[in-house]
Amino acid sequence: MSAVLKDAPRLLVMSQDDLDEVLEIENALYTHPWTRGNFSDSLRAAYDCRTWRLDGELVGYFILMVAVGEAHLLNLSIAVRHQRGGHGSALLREALELARRRGARRLFLEVRPSNAAAQALYARFGFRRVGVRRGYYPARFGREDALVYTVEL
């Protein structure tokens, strides 16, 4: 008897060709999404931009900037229909490993206080809150603070 195995998720380098799909997810998730320009600028700056694909379908992505021994996770997003399936954890694990390989000793990120699911994910990975950036994010009515988290690599 033989078993047919489905493809495992694959981490791939993001390219300009991915941006239509990336923006579809980004626009579905956020009231103030990143723009095509934000993603294009990240690609042009040679940040570590990665996609997470399952059977060819874009499930999520991240943008990671590494410099002078520190990493900054600028964006990590999972498509709505794939949330709560372990993809966020798997993709965060990949981002942390990439930051380590690039020589970072710690990783920083910002998260909205209203994003409890993301905060819970980061807590499971040992992130700790180290600050607040007042009025950092645009919000439906004004601005929203950013909670700054870090983890030692």
Residue 78: which region, alpha, beta or left (left: phi > 0; alpha: psi -120 to 50)? Answer: beta
Q: Which helix or strand (DSSP H or E) is residue 49 part of? A: strand 48-54
Residue with tokens 């990665």: 50
Is the model's pTM score more than 0.75? yes
Residue with tokens 């206080």: 113
| Helix (H/G/I), strand (E/B), else coil: 84 | coil
Rounded to whole angstroms, the Cα distance separating 138 from 78 reads: 20
76-to-3, 4, 47 alpha-carbon distances in Å: 33, 31, 13
| Helix (H/G/I), strand (E/B), else coil: 147 | strand
What ranges do the domains of the chain cover?
10-152
Q: Taking residues 40-49, what's their average pLDDT?
A: 98
Structure token pair of residue 92: 């965060």
Query: CA 136, 137, 138, 140 torsion: positive or negative?
Result: negative
Closest by Cα among 147, 94, 146 to 123 = 147
| Residues noted as catalytic | 110, 122
Q: How many CB atoms lie within 10 A of CB 96?
A: 20
Q: What is the pLDDT of residues 6-33, one digit of tens each?
A: 578 899 999 999 999 999 999 999 999 9
For the domain made up of 10-152, the CATH class stated in words is alpha beta
Burial of 119 (0-12, 13-18, 19+ CB in 10 A): middle
Q: What is the pLDDT of residues 99-152, one digit of tens each?
A: 999 999 999 999 999 999 999 999 999 999 999 999 999 888 889 999 999 999
Supply angle C-alpha 145, 150, 153, rounded to 5: 160
Q: Please report the pLDDT score of residue 6 as a whole number.
A: 59
Confidence band, pLDDT 50/70/90 cuts, at residue 1: very low
